[in-house]
Amino acid sequence: MESTIKAPRGTRDVLGDESWKWTHVLNVCRDVAGDFGYSEVLLPIFEHTELFSRGIGDTTDVVEKEMYTFIDKGDRSITLRPELTASMVRSYLEHDMKRAPQPVKLWSAGPMFRYERPQKGRYRQFWQIDFEILGAQSPMADLETIDTSMEIYRRLGLTNLQVLINSVGCPNCRHAYRDALKRFLESGPGLDALCETCQGRFERNPLRILDCKKPACREATEDAPAIWDSLCDECRSHFEDVNRGLSRIGADVKLDKRLVRGLDYYTKTAYEILAGELGAQNAVCGGGRYDNLAEAIGGPHVPGVGFASGIERIVITLEGQGVFLGEKPKTEVYVVTASSDFAIEASALAHELRASKLSAGTDYAGRGMKAQMKQAAASGADFVCIIGEDEAASGTVSVKNMSNGEQRSIPRNEAAAKLVLWREERNR
């Protein structure tokens, strides 16, 4: 019977033939986190709305249009987290991590929520991995976060990824650039050439006009000045060091003047990593530096840099590139009985096999032997154990090797050990 209640628009069930790929991605993240020295934090799925309005910024798409916000029964404004950086910084401040040796490197993963128009690679609930280095001023920390993400993708087997990078300067030099950009827009294409949203941005947040996706705005900003000429000495040398580091580690990098965040607490480095397989939703990763974010949410000055990457987009890219991730985990041994008289014996054998870390299954539907053999084949099992009158009487099990059809009888009490051995031989 088909249920009339469906998963809400923009959410999806990640079923067994896909979820194991997620586990694989998360395992790789865990390994890489260990090698780079990030510790994992598990953060709340909802936070006070204020954390995001102050920590992401009131004029961003995420805060303006995409948040799942509600008033809880205690009259608090609560928001389902749309990203992790603000929560990471909140957690750092709340637990006084400034007193620990710096930098503090944290990572986390889990579902995020954004009210967006769902399409391939864009959902309302999606998973992100998030890596942050807090308490480090050095451009080498920026480099290390990019290297962290690239190492994750490399170990996953992804290729052809391109890093787009820019600097958004600091509040000191960004002013000059903001003015230069406004002058360019006014004297060149004119405000009428911009979409309505960008006309609104002109005074409030002109840098955001650069990353508007509307063709008219893109055309109007085609020849806009880049921020590079306006950077102060510190921001310039920081930017150069990150780029020198990236070329030293052999990353494929392109400078992109359109990559902006345009809020005061985002500083210096901004980057994205693109994968062609994603089509219009081509960013697999977004990151950058946010030296003034901790202060924006009421804390002391804490420099920070990090990135977030969407697991759905990683999996789409893995599939698009045809990366072989190994086989989907499956049943290795299926236990078949000649009749339901041996059902308890079959369960006991399956129990023993599992205790020896063999993946084992058996029939609970009282099927005939032929139907059980069919089940066994359908499960993809490498071996079938058969328990019938003869086996029970002689304390043995018949084991059939499904790849060559060979069948032999082995003592019941050696079954688990033998099967572990045969599995190893098979996998060799």
Q: Please report, as ranges, the residues that interact with ligand ATP according to CB under 6 A.
A: 83, 114, 116, 121-123, 126, 128, 281, 283-286, 308-310, 312-313
Specify the residue, 163 or 385, whose C-beta has the smaller distance to ligand ATP. Answer: 163
To ligand ATP, the closest distance from the beta carbon of 17 in angstroms equals 20
To ligand ATP, the closest distance from the beta carbon of 265 in angstroms equals 15
Specify the residue, 68 or 184, whose C-beta has the smaller distance to ligand ATP. Answer: 68
Specify the residue, 319 or 389, whose C-beta has the smaller distance to ligand ATP. Answer: 319
Strand blocks (E) in 114-160: 125-134
Specify the residue, 123 or 383, whose C-beta has the smaller distance to ligand ATP. Answer: 123
To ligand ATP, the closest distance from the beta carbon of 122 in angstroms equals 4
To ligand ATP, the closest distance from the beta carbon of 25 in angstroms equals 12
Specify the residue, 160 or 409, whose C-beta has the smaller distance to ligand ATP. Answer: 160
Specify the residue, 83 or 363, whose C-beta has the smaller distance to ligand ATP. Answer: 83
Specify the residue, 121 or 169, whose C-beta has the smaller distance to ligand ATP. Answer: 121
To ligand ATP, the closest distance from the beta carbon of 282 in angstroms equals 8
SS (H, E, C) the chain: CCCCCCCCCCCCCCCHHHHHHHHHHHHHHHHHHHHHCCEECCCCCEEEHHHHHHHCCCCCHHHHHHCEEEECCCCCEEEECCCCHHHHHHHHHHCCHHHCCCCEEEEEEEEEECCCCCECCECCEEEEEEEEEECCCCHHHHHHHHHHHHHHHHHHCCCCEEEEEEECCCHHHHHHHHHHHHHHHHHCCCHHHCCHHHHHHHHHCHHHHHHCCCHHHHHHCCCCCCHHHHCCHHHHHHHHHHHHHHHHCCCCEEECCCCCCCCCCCEEEEEEEEEHHHCCCCEEEEEEECCCHHHHCCCCCCCEEEEEEEHHHHHHHHHHCCCCCCCCCCCCEEEEECCHHHHHHHHHHHHHHHHCCCCEEECCCCCCHHHHHHHHHHHCCCEEEEECHHHHHHCEEEEEECCCCCEEEEEHHHHHHHHHHHHHHHHC
To ligand ATP, the closest distance from the beta carbon of 121 in angstroms equals 6
Q: Which residue is nearest to ligand ATP (CB)?
A: 286
To ligand ATP, the closest distance from the beta carbon of 112 in angstroms equals 7
Specify the residue, 83 or 147, whose C-beta has the smaller distance to ligand ATP. Answer: 83
To ligand ATP, the closest distance from the beta carbon of 334 in angstroms equals 38
